[in-house]
Structure 1
Amino acid sequence: MKFKNYLFLHASLLLYSIGSIFSKMASKEEFLSFGFVLYYGLFLLVLFVYALLWQQILKRFPLTVAFANKAITILWGIVWGYLFFGEALRWGMLLGSVIIVSGIYLVVSDDK
């Protein structure tokens, strides 16, 4: 049961991080162009769905645990930046990712 809840939490956070892809793509389009409206609309749709999922997450987890896990979206942002926008990976980013994952582990393991 607990694994299933954490899987739901991280799938929801993955969806939330995908919103940043649409947001960045919208920022590259001319304001109110078809591309801008499309990407911004997708961004808002992702945020709407995520808001509904977040309410379900808060039913299953204490706020401190749910919010601490939200930091994983920074790691997803690094991955999406590299894959979709050709952004460079630097050692500091990788070190920061390890620190984030370690912090999440500490909070989650303390939740038992």
Structure 2
Amino acid sequence: MKEDRSAPNCGSAQGEPSQALSRRNFLRVSITGAAIAGAGGLASCMTGQPTTRGAGTTPKPVALYQDSPNKGRRCGGCKHFLKPNACEIVAGEISPDGWCRFYYKPLPA
């Protein structure tokens, strides 16, 4: 039996659509999906509610937090420290004299 190497099946003679996904349909579906996903992500940012600083969610053990300075580095001098006793990253009450692995010295102004 000889193979049929003619054009791929693009639908039946009655005009039924092909089961194969054409390049045009693939691009249309991909772009539409990306647009919907992007709009959903953007909508979550536009709640109209002010953002709150200090909503640190990282547990202290994960941050390796300690209540004492480490080699002169202390939370009170960190970019993420929020006076009087909070942090943008680490959850819970933070001592200005503490330290964690997320310590980041602010750049000079």
TM-score bracket for the superposition, by shorter chain length:
under 0.3
TM-score (norm 1): 0.25
- Structure possessing the higher relative contact order (Cα contacts under 8 Å, 6 or more residues apart): 1
Q: Which has the larger radius of gyration?
A: 2
